Amino acid sequence: MIEAGANHSRLSERSATGIAGLDEMLRGGLLRGSAVLVEGAPGTGKSTLGMQFIHHGATVAGEPGLILTFEMFPRHYYRDAANFGWDFPALEAANKLRVVMSSPEVTRADLQSVSGRLEAQAHQIGARRVLVDSLSHFERLTNDPVELRQMVFEFINGLKRMGLTAILTRENPALLGETANLEEDLAFVVDGYIMLRYVEIASAVRRALLILKLRGSDHANDIRQYEITSRGIDVRARFEGQQGIMSGSPVSTAAEAFIQAFGRKR
Amino acid sequence: MIEAGANHSRLSERSATGIAGLDEMLRGGLLRGSAVLVEGAPGTGKSTLGMQFIHHGATVAGEPGLILTFEMFPRHYYRDAANFGWDFPALEAANKLRVVMSSPEVTRADLQSVSGRLEAQAHQIGARRVLVDSLSHFERLTNDPVELRQMVFEFINGLKRMGLTAILTRENPALLGETANLEEDLAFVVDGYIMLRYVEIASAVRRALLILKLRGSDHANDIRQYEITSRGIDVRARFEGQQGIMSGSPVSTAAEAFIQAFGRKR
Amino acid sequence: MIEAGANHSRLSERSATGIAGLDEMLRGGLLRGSAVLVEGAPGTGKSTLGMQFIHHGATVAGEPGLILTFEMFPRHYYRDAANFGWDFPALEAANKLRVVMSSPEVTRADLQSVSGRLEAQAHQIGARRVLVDSLSHFERLTNDPVELRQMVFEFINGLKRMGLTAILTRENPALLGETANLEEDLAFVVDGYIMLRYVEIASAVRRALLILKLRGSDHANDIRQYEITSRGIDVRARFEGQQGIMSGSPVSTAAEAFIQAFGRKR
Amino acid sequence: MIEAGANHSRLSERSATGIAGLDEMLRGGLLRGSAVLVEGAPGTGKSTLGMQFIHHGATVAGEPGLILTFEMFPRHYYRDAANFGWDFPALEAANKLRVVMSSPEVTRADLQSVSGRLEAQAHQIGARRVLVDSLSHFERLTNDPVELRQMVFEFINGLKRMGLTAILTRENPALLGETANLEEDLAFVVDGYIMLRYVEIASAVRRALLILKLRGSDHANDIRQYEITSRGIDVRARFEGQQGIMSGSPVSTAAEAFIQAFGRKR
Amino acid sequence: MIEAGANHSRLSERSATGIAGLDEMLRGGLLRGSAVLVEGAPGTGKSTLGMQFIHHGATVAGEPGLILTFEMFPRHYYRDAANFGWDFPALEAANKLRVVMSSPEVTRADLQSVSGRLEAQAHQIGARRVLVDSLSHFERLTNDPVELRQMVFEFINGLKRMGLTAILTRENPALLGETANLEEDLAFVVDGYIMLRYVEIASAVRRALLILKLRGSDHANDIRQYEITSRGIDVRARFEGQQGIMSGSPVSTAAEAFIQAFGRKR
Amino acid sequence: MIEAGANHSRLSERSATGIAGLDEMLRGGLLRGSAVLVEGAPGTGKSTLGMQFIHHGATVAGEPGLILTFEMFPRHYYRDAANFGWDFPALEAANKLRVVMSSPEVTRADLQSVSGRLEAQAHQIGARRVLVDSLSHFERLTNDPVELRQMVFEFINGLKRMGLTAILTRENPALLGETANLEEDLAFVVDGYIMLRYVEIASAVRRALLILKLRGSDHANDIRQYEITSRGIDVRARFEGQQGIMSGSPVSTAAEAFIQAFGRKR
């Protein structure tokens, strides 16, 4: 939301996601070394967005990447990536990608060793990017929000020390609209916050993307439509003529309704 | 939501449900080997949808099927299926169907043996499909959402190892609209998510179907009407002129209201 | 909601309630041997509907009936029935009715003996119908929703084994609109579900009836007005020109508002 | 809601409240021997309504009355009654009224002795009416809703055995609109239910009265305005042109709004 | 809400607050010896209203006053009062005011001694008014709502025995609109209830005052605007053309909107 | 909200924030020695506002400042400040700024030593301003709201004894609209309360600023838009034609909608 012309971060400081519309909203990409939360309901494409960021880094931007997963097997990522035409096994063979799976039973104490493995892999391939899929797994390690916050804070600081630019996914259990309360406050710990939401418009469910926070950088503040295509996430135009989009159940503006009923004024 | 032309999954990879409108929305059927959640309030026809999927597999698609139930007796399924003209005892006799009933008192520890029985039956008839009716039963085995998720995750992986395409029903206690919070996050574990909902329109209660997620495949994103007829589920046109359908209490769009009051513009 | 012509249940399989409008909505009455939940707030007439079903069975349909109560004394039913012109003592004398009162302190363990008494009475008069008033009493026997569901499931199966068609009332603590969550999920256990609701329209409180579920049968899906008259429940026309009836606080449709203000279009 | 002509209760069976508009809504008054709940927020006039019922009984209807209080001292009732011109000390002197105060620390075990004192007083003056102010006090004796319900049920039955017609007040903590859940379900135990509510209309707070339930009798179902005047409760006309009155924040009907803006159609 | 002409309380029985608009709404002021709750969110001016009542008593009405505080030091009141031009130290010197500070750690057991100190001070200066700032402090002494109510009830009765007219402030944690539930029910214990609220209108936040209850007296029932000026609280006209003011987010009435858009009808 | 002309606080008593629009809303700046809460969701710019206040004091107003942080390292502030062109290391070198970091594990007992360090640093540079970033950290030290309130109260009093004017940030977990309940009541303890909010308007997310409370001073009461520019916070005009801004999902006023559809009346 920093004004045009005020954008003093050089593009060379940016890690482009490879999603054209999103990179434009981000004014070029993620700030190198930042950690950005991508949150959404099931099926909104959080992991896809993250994989696309990793794939773009490994194939176009010359930034090898890591994927840290706690539940899904590497082959799941291979298969899902293949759906979008991304050849993850080839990237692994070329030392441009590592998929690191941690046991879903990992405890808080184990986190150190997870970080160790991550660092070793990062070193091997000279990784510059990481996808943590998902941060929700951390939430299952403790019921104490203070401990959770500190744990995530330390983990993210670890990623930064490794020189990684990070996308961290987070599952949002609300299908439409907001949860009443984000008690873990993880959004305060990260450098950026991208929200993916379902929105019901005209008897169909659309997807909406919003950048709510981007520390140290300007960003677009409009709510954009996006699609999951055969080539990955495609961010498109903003919504028009709707009120309350972030509630998931927007209504047409009255002006829009008049126009639909009576035609546009000339 | 993957764009037209982008649909690179071959139809031969699909297990059609036999519900024409739904198969069209799914771009041919469920992906083979996927596990899809069908969620809805009492009376929305979750089990009927699942039985139709099993019946179509056994009679048309050459894919024998299993039904796993925790509460209802096999004869209940025979009777309910008969209401739709589906002869389940005949299919059992022809080794194209098995209804496997697990005790409602099954514990988490017993799940392994349930899986064993399921696998044995699957092997006997060469099953390719399964209906798990309902996943809600798993929710009663533990109050720990992390344990529940892992349990369901493992169970589903077991089904996949058996080569089964699965429909898993889940009871939604909210009659109209959404529950505030899906704390078990089961929707993150499955490959697809189909929602069945009641919707009040024009002083009557209609039924709405929505595909919210379908991993690795394009799907329709509109909210469709459906009916439970004497031949099973019948998916019809999308709703028109309504806002907030997923809330269960939509309102007419203002444009629709003008049109109803003043007639359509020419 | 099964389509016209699809109604393959013979009328001889139906137990008419004797409430004309409701029987029409039910396509002739309750399916013999089914158990139907009637839910509503205080004063909506749940017990009246149930007594009318029992009275009609005993006097017109040749189906003697039982009333099982946990709190109200038989004389309360006699008095309330008398208000509608139904002579319950005479029916008892004629062996066409039994009112069975169980202590409100009945425990889960006692339920078996309650069932025993019920069965004995059913046998004595050849009962075909039963009113359980109210199922809410079961909810007070346990705080464990799993145990509750199983208990009710078994109890209902017991009624079916006795060959009884059952109406089970359930108290809904919400005066207007829905409770947020039906955690006991009893609606999943029964064969049918009839909702009675208060609705505020035009500065008065009306009553609304809706059939939400009817296993194995077609049924009307509109929301009907009803009154409690001196002859019992009287189900009337559907509501017109209202949106959000089931919320208890509907609003006029915009079309209706235009019409009221400007007159109907010709 | 029983239809006109259907009102088979004789007026001689009624205990008039002395509030003309309310008696009309009740079709003559409370049924003798019934127990009616009067619920409302602070300042809605529950106690005033109850005192008026007692005063009318003692001075006009020849039915002496009791007031049972758990918190306020008798002198508080004398003073409040005097505000309306009701001379309670004189009625006590004439053996037409007794104000019985129970300690606020009364336990469940003490309830029996409270009933004993009540019965003794009732006998002394030949009481036919009672005001219990307030039933909310019972709610403080137990946190177990089942125990509470049974306790209130027994207490009310005790009042009926004494031949008393009862008004029981109940405090509603919600200032505007409904509480989400009436978990104690006391409304199921009583014979009638009168709701007093605050309603914001045209930048002022009005009072609304509604009879929601009246066992064994017809009653008006409209939502009426009332005022607390120097002569007590005065029930007036129904509200007009408002939707959602019971929510406490009604909106003008659209028709009403058109009329206010453009004038009434001729 | 008692009708005009019905106002049988003599003005000599009133303690004017010195806030002209409020005294008019109160029909002259608080009834002597009554205890009135003033509730509002932070910054709504509860303490200011109370201090103005005390200042008016001490300087104009010949009624010396006490301020009982549990958290703020006397010098805080001096400073805040000075902002409005009220010289509290001079009033203390003239024996027309006492600010009594109780430790924030006061326990329930200590309350007796607090009352003792209060009574001693009241005796010294012949106090007739008291400001208790704030009653919220009592809520921190116990988590048991029954105990709280009794404690406050006794405390208020103590104030009445001392012959004091009391304003008791209470903090409302909701910034806009109502809290869902006033579980402590303190509003039932006091004689009057004045609500201070924030209201968003036309992209600004206004303040609203409403008298909800005033035992034994008529009062205005409209919702008035007020400002905090350099001379204290200033109560002004009622709001116009707004619906749902007490929710904190009112909307213009439709009639108002038509008028704004098309001009007033002539 | 004190009226024009009533502003008796001299400007010399004000600490300007350096944010022109905010200083105008504050009638010149914060009152010296006051403690003001700045609350907002992640990304609303709470810390930026606080750093700007500190920077303006150190560079323009001749008031050196402190920053107390519990989680972020001083270098984080240097980097974030540099984004706005503020050279914090130079200010530290010139003894006009100190960034004091307390361990995130600080306990309640440690608070005294934190205050000691703060006081020592304040003395060294003659600090007149302090930014506490964030007060939310105190909320993590106790679950007892009474203890929290007292702890914050004492801490703030300590700051005042040091002669500091304070901005205290607080994280608001609700992204849009209000949290239901501010149970800690911290807003009652501070002298001023500034709210930062996200607001969805015309398919984009804007930022809104509101001063809700400012003890001892007049302030603007309108809801203003603001941006985070490359030079810090920029407070702009109020919102126009919106209702319910503080809910986060305002709707256009009906008047606005008519104007948009039909043009402004002439």
Residues of C in contact with D6 (CB under 8 A): 229-231
Q: What is the mean pLDDT of residues C9-24?
A: 86
Counting one residue from C and one from D, how many pairs have CB atoms under 8 Å apart? 119
Q: Indicate if the pLDDT at residue E246 is higher than 90.
A: no
Q: Which residues of chain A have pLDDT under 70?
A: 1-12, 104-105, 176-185, 254-255, 257-266
- Which of F79, F229, F263 has the CB atom closest to A265's CB atom? F263
Q: What is the mean pLDDT of residues E69-95?
A: 92
Residues of D in contact with C230 (CB under 8 A): 2-3, 5-8, 218
pLDDT tens per residue across span C190-207: 999 999 999 999 889 999
Predicted confidence band of residue B263 (pLDDT cuts 50, 70, 90): low
Nearest by Cα to B72 from B162, B171, B148, B151: B171
Mean pLDDT score of chain E, rounded to an integer? 86
- Which of B183, B255, B258 has the CB atom closest to A173's CB atom? B183
- F78 vs E: CB within 8 A: no
Calpha distance A11→A29 (Å, rounded): 8
Both structure tokens of E57: 């008593």
Residues of E in contact with D79 (CB under 8 A): 216
What is the per-residue pLDDT for B4?
Answer: 35
- B1 vs C: CB within 8 A: no
What is the per-residue pLDDT for A111?
Answer: 81
Residue of A26, A182, A209 best to disrupt the F interface, most CBs of F under 10 A: A182
Determine, for residues A212 and F229 on separate chains, whether the beta-carbon distance falls below 8 Å.
no
CB E196 within 8 A of CB E212: no
Residue of E25, E194, E211, E212 best to disrupt the D interface, most CBs of D under 10 A: E212
- B201 vs A: CB within 8 A: no
Establish whether chain C is in contact with chain D, requiring a minimum of 3 CB pairs below 8 angstroms.
yes
Strands (DSSP E) found in chain D: 14-15, 30-31, 35-40, 65-69, 97-101, 129-133, 165-171, 192-201, 204-214, 224-229, 232-238, 242-243, 251-252
The most confident of B244-258, C128-142, E183-197, by mean pLDDT: C128-142
- Please count the other Cβ atoms lying within 10 Å of the Cβ belonging to residue B81: 24
Q: Indicate if the pLDDT at residue F138 is higher than 70.
A: yes
Which residues touch C218 (CB under 8 Å, ≥6 apart)?
B230, C1, C2, C3, C6, C7, C27
Q: For the residues of A103-126, what is the DSSP string, one character each? A: -TT--TTTHHHHHHHHHHHHHHHT
Calpha distance A97→A127 (Å, rounded): 8
Predicted confidence band of residue E160 (pLDDT cuts 50, 70, 90): very high
Calpha distance B127→B63 (Å, rounded): 6
Nearest by Cα to E80 from F2, F149, F212: F2
Least CA distance to A171: which residue of chain B?
Answer: B188
- C251 vs D: CB within 8 A: yes
- E255 vs D: CB within 8 A: yes
Q: How many CA atoms lie within 13 A of B51 on its CB side?
A: 25
- F142 vs E: CB within 8 A: no
Q: What is the mean pLDDT of residues B88-101?
A: 97
Q: Indicate if the pLDDT at residue C258 is higher than 80.
A: no
What is the per-residue pLDDT for F258?
Answer: 64
User: Under DSSP, is residue F54 helix (H, G, I), strand (E, B) or coil?
Assistant: helix
Least confident of A167-181, B145-159, D232-246, F59-73: A167-181
Calpha distance E178→E218 (Å, rounded): 24
Calpha distance D242→D225 (Å, rounded): 12
Nearest Cα of chain C lies from the Cα of B255 at a distance, in angstroms, of: 10
What is the per-residue pLDDT for B257?
Answer: 67
Establish whether chain A is in contact with chain F, requiring a minimum of 3 CB pairs below 8 angstroms.
yes
Nearest Cα of chain C lies from the Cα of D228 at a distance, in angstroms, of: 21
First-to-last alpha carbon distance for chain E, in angstroms, is 33
Structure-token match 């002597």, residue found: E32
- Please count the other Cβ atoms lying within 10 Å of the Cβ belonging to residue B115: 17
The helix-helix angle for E254-262 and D254-262 (nearest 10°) equals 40
Determine, for residues A83 and B8 on separate chains, whether the beta-carbon distance falls below 8 Å.
yes
User: What ipTM was predicted for this assembly?
Assistant: 0.83
Predicted confidence band of residue E227 (pLDDT cuts 50, 70, 90): very high
Establish whether chain B is in contact with chain C, requiring a minimum of 3 CB pairs below 8 angstroms.
yes
Q: What is the mean pLDDT of residues D29-35?
A: 95
Q: What is the mean pLDDT of residues F52-67?
A: 98
Greater confidence (B256 vs F148) lies with: F148
What is the per-residue pLDDT for F245?
Answer: 85
What is the per-residue pLDDT for C266?
Answer: 46
What is the per-residue pLDDT for D260?
Answer: 66
CB burial of residue E107 (10 Å; 0-12, 13-18, 19+): exposed
Determine, for residues B212 and A258 on separate chains, whether the beta-carbon distance falls below 8 Å.
no
Q: Indicate if the pLDDT at residue B6 is higher than 90.
A: no
- Which of A173, A200, A263 has the CB atom closest to B265's CB atom? A263
Determine, for residues C230 and D262 on separate chains, whether the beta-carbon distance falls below 8 Å.
no
Residue of B203, B209, B258 best to disrupt the C interface, most CBs of C under 10 A: B203
Predicted confidence band of residue B59 (pLDDT cuts 50, 70, 90): very high
Greater confidence (F140 vs D104) lies with: F140
Calpha distance B28→B13 (Å, rounded): 9
Q: How many CA atoms lie within 13 A of C37 on its CB side?
A: 25
Calpha distance F212→E92 (Å, rounded): 32
Predicted confidence band of residue E220 (pLDDT cuts 50, 70, 90): very high
Residues of A in contact with B1 (CB under 8 A): 207, 227-229
Nearest Cα of chain D lies from the Cα of C253 at a distance, in angstroms, of: 9
Question: What's chain A's Rg over C-alpha atoms?
Answer: 19
Q: What is the mean pLDDT of residues B177-203?
A: 77
Determine, for residues E212 and D261 on separate chains, whether the beta-carbon distance falls below 8 Å.
no
- With residues binned 3-state (H G I as helix, E B as strand, rest as coil), the percentages for chain D, rounded to 5, are 35, 25, 40
Determine, for residues A200 and B240 on separate chains, whether the beta-carbon distance falls below 8 Å.
no
Kindly list the partner chains of chain F, i.e. chains with 3 or more CB atom pairs below 8 Å.
Answer: A, E
Provide long-range contacts, Cβ within 8 A and 24+ apart, for D225-230.
D226/D21, D226/D45, D226/D196, D227/E1, D227/E2, D227/E3, D228/D45, D228/D48, D228/E1, D228/E2, D229/E1, D229/E2, D229/E3, D229/E6, D230/D83, D230/D84, D230/D85, D230/E2, D230/E3, D230/E5, D230/E6, D230/E7, D230/E8, D230/E218
- D223 vs C: CB within 8 A: yes
- Please count the other Cβ atoms lying within 10 Å of the Cβ belonging to residue C169: 24
Beta bridge mates, D201 = D204
CB C158 within 8 A of CB C115: yes
Both structure tokens of A232: 């990955």
Q: What is the mean pLDDT of residues B94-101?
A: 96
Which residues touch D93 (CB under 8 Å, ≥6 apart)?
none
Nearest by Cα to A152 from A174, A171, A137: A137
Least CA distance to B3: which residue of chain A?
Answer: A229
Phi, psi of D34 (to 5 degrees): -90, 160
Predicted confidence band of residue C168 (pLDDT cuts 50, 70, 90): very high
Q: Is the peptide bond before A134 cis (omega within 30 degrees of 0)?
A: yes
Calpha distance A164→B165 (Å, rounded): 39
Nearest Cα of chain B lies from the Cα of C154 at a distance, in angstroms, of: 10
Both structure tokens of F161: 């004894």
Beta bridge mates, F224 = F209, F238
What is the per-residue pLDDT for B216?
Answer: 84
What is the per-residue pLDDT for D262?
Answer: 63
| C-alpha distances in Å from residue D2, one per residue of A154, C263, D214, F181 | 70, 32, 10, 44
Least CA distance to F139: which residue of chain A?
Answer: A146
Both structure tokens of E193: 């209830």
Residue of D49, D203, D207, D229 best to disrupt the E interface, most CBs of E under 10 A: D203
Greater confidence (A262 vs C117) lies with: C117
Which residues touch E116 (CB under 8 Å, ≥6 apart)?
none
Nearest Cα of chain D lies from the Cα of C229 at a distance, in angstroms, of: 4
CB B49 within 8 A of CB B27: no
Calpha distance A18→A55 (Å, rounded): 8
pLDDT tens per residue across span E22-59: 999 999 999 999 999 999 988 899 999 999 999 999 99
Which residues touch B155 (CB under 8 Å, ≥6 apart)?
B111, B115, B138
Determine, for residues C42 and D193 on separate chains, whether the beta-carbon distance falls below 8 Å.
yes
- F170 vs A: CB within 8 A: no
pLDDT tens per residue across span B18-52: 999 999 999 999 999 999 999 988 889 999 999 99
What is the per-residue pLDDT for E245?
Answer: 85
What is the per-residue pLDDT for F5?
Answer: 36
| C-alpha distances in Å from residue F203, one per residue of A194, A221, A240, F112, F207 | 16, 9, 7, 48, 13
Determine, for residues B258 and A254 on separate chains, whether the beta-carbon distance falls below 8 Å.
no
Q: Indicate if the pLDDT at residue E74 is higher than 50.
A: yes
- Which of D183, D221, D253 has the CB atom closest to C206's CB atom? D221
CB E128 within 8 A of CB E65: yes
Least CA distance to D245: which residue of chain C?
Answer: C203
Kindly list the partner chains of chain E, i.e. chains with 3 or more CB atom pairs below 8 Å.
Answer: D, F
Residues of D in contact with C80 (CB under 8 A): 215-216
pLDDT tens per residue across span D165-211: 999 999 887 776 655 445 456 777 899 999 999 999 988 999 999 99
pLDDT tens per residue across span A10-58: 556 899 999 999 999 999 999 999 999 999 888 899 999 999 999 999 9
How long is chain D? 266
What is the per-residue pLDDT for B12?
Answer: 64
Q: What is the mean pLDDT of residues E177-192?
A: 67
Residues of E in contact with D250 (CB under 8 A): 243
CB burial of residue F88 (10 Å; 0-12, 13-18, 19+): buried
Determine, for residues A203 and B222 on separate chains, whether the beta-carbon distance falls below 8 Å.
yes
Calpha distance B225→B207 (Å, rounded): 6
- Which of C180, C231, C249 has the CB atom closest to D246's CB atom? C249
Counting one residue from B and one from C, how many pairs have CB atoms under 8 Å apart? 119
pLDDT tens per residue across span E229-244: 999 999 999 998 888 8
Nearest Cα of chain D lies from the Cα of E153 at a distance, in angstroms, of: 9
User: Under DSSP, is residue F131 helix (H, G, I), strand (E, B) or coil?
Assistant: strand
Nearest Cα of chain F lies from the Cα of A192 at a distance, in angstroms, of: 8
CB D184 within 8 A of CB D141: no
Least confident of A107-121, D81-95, F174-188: F174-188
